[in-house]
Structure 1
């Protein structure tokens, strides 16, 4: 005789998705302080939003640096400086949507299949990892040996 057991999601019955960003101090030992994500859609959304924030910040800094480089180069140089911001905003948004969606869906699938709860800090950390991967992959690996 086979015993069929189906596990249900470990989310509490009164679970509501915590408002974004819901970062909490992890060393606080008070009960109910920690915020957790249980469903793939929530994990995907948090990862996507944090990746968008991180990519926007990184590309914004790069855009500011590129405009500052044009200081003192004359009026012709400033004529198209606004295009730098627009191009980098479009690039950042596209990259962030792709990277955040892929990582968020993979994280959601892993956590939900294992019936784990995810701290709201995990998508934040993966947003940072996505940006660090972007920065490292932007360097040329050809050496001058």
Structure 2
């Protein structure tokens, strides 16, 4: 008999949550070697990590550009750290919200989640941030 606290998805016996990032290419894989996420906490965690990584990379590029445009070294370093601090904060908030929603949707629908899904959602969030960073695209939306 299954545990009533677990959703109706049949979690494989001996399931261990894959290590982060555990991205795999699905073709040619057997069911035993595929990486899936079953628990809401794991879905939230993977989404949070990927979102924070993506935000940090994009803000690091933008901060580097801003730093090179600044003539003063001290001001440029401050700008870089400010961009990174904002990236961590934005990534944590956005990743937590999207990860929680994804976890609830997948567990409510009794779906298994590939480890690629949190990565894809992090990329989607970055595209939205970049797209809304331009004034005309924000007005069109």
Partner of 1:3: none
Which of structures 1 and 2 has the bigger CA Rg? 1
RMSD: 1.7
Q: Which has the higher helix share?
A: 2
Partner of 2:92: 97
| Per-residue deviation, residues 3-24 of structure 1 (Å, max 9, x unmatched) | xxx7634212311110000000
TM-score calculated relative to the size of structure 2: 0.87
Comparing both chains, which one has the higher relative contact order based on Cα–Cα distances under 8 Å and sequence gaps of 6 or more?
Answer: 1
TM-score calculated relative to the size of structure 1: 0.85
Give the match's secondary structure for 1:112.
helix
Q: Is residue 2:28 matched to residue 1:28? A: yes
Segments of structure 2 that go 5 or more residues without pairing to the other structure are: none
Segments of structure 1 that go 5 or more residues without pairing to the other structure are: 1-5
Give the number of equivalent residue pairs.
Answer: 133
Q: Is residue 2:77 matched to residue 1:82? A: yes
| Per-residue deviation, residues 34-78 of structure 1 (Å, max 9, x unmatched) | 1000010000000000001100100011111112223xx4xxx22
| Per-residue deviation, residues 81-113 of structure 1 (Å, max 9, x unmatched) | 111111111100111011101110000000011
